[in-house]
Chains A and B, each alone.
Chain A
Amino acid sequence: MVNKGNPCLSGRGVTKIFGFGRHKTIAVDHVDFDFHEGEIVSIVGESGSGKTTLAKMLLGLISVTEGEIYFQGKKRDLSSGRKKQEYWRNIQAIFQDPFSSYNIFHKIDSVLLDCIRMRGGGNLPREKKVEMMTEACSFVNLKFAELTNKYPFELSGGQMQRLMIARIFLLKPKILVADEPTSMIDACSRATILDYLMKLRNETGMTLIFITHDIGLAYYVSDTIYIMEHGRFVESGSADDVILYPKHPYTRRLISDVPKIYEEWDLSTV
């Protein structure tokens, strides 16, 4: 890993509890983390390990039961709608299912125009806006001229996910949370999506947080990997350390469960 930038997003003792009393479920259990500027972080865990809950807390979509999240060194404050909007200018997300990420009644133009407005470009002349949208679309190899006046459902899954990245290109947030961005699209388009995300990181220097259960993907893209089990981080470190020399038994099990091509896949340990 190259030299780390300043901490961009940190958490101390972050906890989320659903329900109370006997029906209490601790989804995220006192986790500490420091995500640095320009870093690519992956949070890896099985289904039910609490990784999506953590992502939602990072995004400020659900409240934190206990603990604090610090944004750029300061305590995060989401007490009013205006402050939330300000926060979301800095942190954005790409979700797993591109088919449900869009409002089906809004045309693609309005999706992108919203982004320009959010960056304070609402009063720009129409030509300038079109130019910006064209640039964003060409960044992800889509043609704006073909997309204008279309609805999101007219696109394929891979195209929708690329349009999502075009949105991020317009918004230029400081942090991007990608929650399983490639699990719904097949292997060939996966490489394309990852390439665009990496390119975007290189151009804007934003922090990328991948939430995934695909260890291969985490290993390929990230600088730092956090392994999550039952709401806790059981292991963290640079990608090479965690994947090639895992210490925690849970990490070892996860890695041994992934089918490989150069090593024998041991089926006896189920």
Chain B
Amino acid sequence: MLEVRDLSTKYVTRYKEDVYAVDRVSLKIEEGKTLGIAGESGCGKSTLALSLMGYYFPPLHYISGEIIIDGQNITGMKPDEVRKSILGKEIAYIPQAAMNALNPTRKVIDFIGDVIRAHDPTWTKQMIYDHARALFERLGLPAEVLQKYPVELSGGMKQRTVIAVAVTLTPKVLIADEPSSALDVTSQKMVIKMLRDMMESGFIKAMIFITHELPLLYNVADDIMVMYAGQIVERGTAKQTVFDPLHPYSKGLMGSILVPESGLRSAKLTAIPGAPPNLKNPPPGCRFADRCKYVKPECRVTSVPLYEVGHGRAYRCILPEEELRRAYEHGE
């Protein structure tokens, strides 16, 4: 459904410095699958999402790579063209905290109208209303929300409305960036249920879900990709990445999970010391080397490729699989 090959993008700051936020990322999502992207803040998750849509505007710049959505290569298209023919129709994006960006002076129906008219200005008010009503029924949202202002809605309802606006034109791929992190657990569950229903009924064909909450990601995603400093450091099924992480960084992430289940209290949370490297001049070797417990002198010298283990599993570390697993067992 969506394929990305060696995509690299950078930010150019106002002092003309390059910040390499996404570095040679390749990914592939098949129809009906959800890909989860994990990683701490500032590791390039959101930038990757923006870059995936092929819609570049300063300070974000394209360097290299290819993006193929449903057989259509959108690399090299002009931003205006992308906006008209790709965004919303082929791929839709729900930015982080999107629900706070709703214009308080306009009704929900107007947001949907805006999306439709941006692609086809000939739609009449009645057509838009009928379409919106059908859409809300399909998504299991009450139709009276359409005539309300954002302030009249609860946080959870606002977030679900934002999702509905994003999928107005039935995109094939939906990118959800932290769609539930500002909500409490009950509203979060409703949002997740709505997303999952959309996937199950085939309303959207594939989804990319970005969050740093691993228990949530584990429950939503089929595959999980762990990002660190703009690179993919690990890729595998949700179960593999959570229960059998290979890269030391993923291992550290998994150690910070807090779930109300027995056994948690006796477990010790592991924190990863330090901060991610500055991406203006990324280190030549492994980018995680400065924070890694198992660092070796050669880690800092040569860059580490992503090793394919087979069955779609991959990780970026010079240590072999068995050695890593053994180290984790002894380390605890």
Contact = CB atoms under 8 A, between A and B. Distances in A.
Contacts of A244: 262
Interface stretch (B15-23, B143-151, B252-260, B300-308): B252-260
Interface string B162-187: 00000000000000000000001110
B196 interface: yes
Contacts of A255: 260
Interface in A38-59: 46-47
B192 interface: yes
Interface in B186-217: 186, 188-190, 192-193, 196, 212-216
A82 to B, nearest CB: 39
A37 B300 CA distance: 49
A47 B187 CA distance: 10
B101 interface: no
Given A186-B41, A257-B188, A219 B265 contact: yes
A239 interface: yes
A258 B259 CA distance: 8
B259 A261 contact: yes
Contacts of A270: 186, 189-190, 193
Interface in A222-270: 239-240, 243-244, 253-255, 257-263, 265, 267, 270
B66 interface: no
Contacts of B212: 186-188
Interface stretch (B24-32, B69-77, B267-275): B267-275
B219 interface: yes
Contacts of A216: 215, 257-260, 264
B60 interface: no
B3 interface: no
B259 A191 contact: no
A260 B261 contact: yes
B185 A213 contact: yes
Given A259-B218, A263-B261, A187 B184 contact: no
A240 B265 contact: yes
A20 interface: no
A131 interface: no
Contacts of B255: 191
A141 B273 CA distance: 9
Interface string B43-56: 00000000000000
Interface of B is mostly: loop
Contacts of B213: 187, 259
B222 to A, nearest CB: 15
A68 B209 CA distance: 48
Contacts of A189: 40, 271
Given A191-B269, A267-B192, A270-B193, A213 B40 contact: no
B92 interface: no
Contacts of B242: 261
B155 interface: yes
Contact of A259 (B186, B219, B263, B269): B219
Contact of B271 (A156, A188, A219, A261): A188
A213 B41 CA distance: 21
A214 interface: yes
Residue of B193, B242, B261, B275 most packed against chain A (CB within 10 A)? B261
Contacts of A47: 155, 184
Contacts of B219: 259-261, 265
A187 B189 contact: no
Given A188-B40, A216-B258, A243-B260, A258 B185 contact: yes
Given A47-B155, A195-B271, A254-B185, A267 B218 contact: no
Nearest to B217: A259
Nearest to A253: B186
B236 to A, nearest CB: 15
Contact of B264 (A186, A220, A254): A220
Nearest to A219: B260
A215 B269 CA distance: 15
Residue of A186, A239, A243, A259 most packed against chain B (CB within 10 A)? A259
A107 interface: no
Interface in A180-216: 185-192, 194-195, 213-216
A257 B261 contact: no
Contacts of A190: 256, 258
B218 A261 contact: yes
B40 A257 contact: no
B246 to A, nearest CB: 18
A195 B215 CA distance: 20
Of all A-B residue pairs in the complex, the 5 with the closest CB atoms, nearest first, are: A216-B258, A191-B269, A191-B271, A257-B185, A192-B271
23 contacts: A46-B185, A46-B186, A187-B213, A187-B214, A187-B257, A188-B272, A190-B256, A191-B256, A191-B270, A191-B271, A213-B184, A215-B260, A216-B215, A218-B260, A253-B186, A258-B215, A260-B259, A260-B260, A261-B218, A261-B257, A261-B259, A262-B263, A265-B219
Interface of A: 46-47, 141, 156-157, 185-192, 194-195, 213-220, 239-240, 243-244, 253-255, 257-263, 265, 267, 270
Interface of B: 40-41, 155, 184-186, 188-190, 192-193, 196, 212-216, 218-219, 242, 252-253, 255-265, 269-273, 275
